[in-house]
Amino acid sequence: MRFLGLSARTWAIIIAAIVLALMAPLFILNKFNTFQFAYVWALAIALIGLNILTGYSGQISLGNGAFMAVGAYTTAILYFKLKVPYGWTILPAGLVAGLAGYLFGFPALKLSGLYLALATFALALSASPVIKNFGDLTHGHEGIVLPQAEDPLGLGLTNEQWVYYLALIIAVVLFLFARAMLSGATGRALRAVRDSETAAAASGISLTYYKTMAFGVSAFYAGIAGSLFATITAYVSPDSFDLPLSLGLLVGMVVGGLGTLAGPVLGATFVIWLPIYAQSIFKNKPDIAYGVILILLMFLLPQGIAGGIGRLVAWYRRRSTEVGPPADEEEVVHEFAVRNSTGE
């Protein structure tokens, strides 16, 4: 019995996790923690998107924070200037960011590996000055203060519980959407592109279509995440979308692991909670801890977690000998480990 490429056992675990997440704000989490976990779900969405781009289509991005900014500002502007109810701004935020990502995907087609890292790094750095430059629309440095998102359904939820559930439900929906997309022909095509562009193109897979689409989808996810960030914080400012956010996404993805189901949630939990601990323990910004953990991960698991990324770049060094794509991602990960340990 398989559904969306996952076994019944995996589904049981996923459903149990979702039930736990649904119960948590009512029984376990206090106000502060509920807020922080709302951010975790929102960030997990962005990480699912980044995973599609990097883990599946093999394109690295250091600049998805810029697409989050597009989403957040779309929501803020629609909500603040045009008085659109924020619930109706989330999808447009994703679509606008997705369009931006799709368009960025075209020049990105010509850039591989390091150069794409470079271009997206520049994208991450440019986001904040560009936002500041269009002050009429974005209020420049000051940012835009939004009204607190309140429970519109009269369920008696507090603010933080409402944004928590909003982010959680959207995350679950988008997770299922990603599974549906990746477990079928699209997922196979993307993996084929990642493993060998030449072989994929020779098999009739359009590189242009799949690579730009992956950028678009990943930016769509980032845009939704950005929109939720704006809703949860009830405030957007250019400084929320600078380089550390983009690099934080990358750290989250690497920490969570590429191509694993739990990766985005683990990665998001790490990225959101580390600064809080860093603040209380080291009395400092989380930068040093981020950096040390990133470096240690590369040392200890160079081919394990990050091997996914490295492998994408090194794809041309070895030919894949597998006949068909494995049915389950966990098996793929296992296979990487086996191959690497045998030095193949």
Residues at the interface with other proteins (CB under 8 A)? 60, 62, 107, 110-111, 113-115, 117-119, 121-123, 125-126, 129-130, 132-133, 198, 243, 247, 250, 254, 284-288, 290-295, 298-299, 302, 306, 309-314, 316
Give me the least distance between CB of 28 and other proteins, in Å please: 31
| Alpha carbons 344 and 318: distance in angstroms, whole number | 9
Nearest 5°: the CA angle 91, 96, 98 is 90
| Alpha carbons 249 and 50: distance in angstroms, whole number | 8
* 58/223 with CB nearer other proteins: 58
Would you put residue 139 in left (φ > 0), alpha (ψ -120 to 50) or beta? left
Give me the least distance between CB of 17 and other proteins, in Å please: 28
| Alpha carbons 200 and 188: distance in angstroms, whole number | 10
* 148/198 with CB nearer other proteins: 198
Measured over the CA atoms of residue 252, residue 257, residue 259 and residue 262, the dihedral's sign is: negative
DSSP for 159-225, written as a single string: HHHHHHHHHHHHHHHHHHHHHHHHTSHHHHHHHHHHH-HHHHHHTT--HHHHHHHHHHHHHHHHHHH
* 213/253 with CB nearer other proteins: 253
Give me the least distance between CB of 133 and other proteins, in Å please: 5
* 78/249 with CB nearer other proteins: 249
Give me the least distance between CB of 301 and other proteins, in Å please: 10
What's the one-letter identity of residue 149?
Answer: A
* 84/132 with CB nearer other proteins: 132
Give me the least distance between CB of 309 and other proteins, in Å please: 5
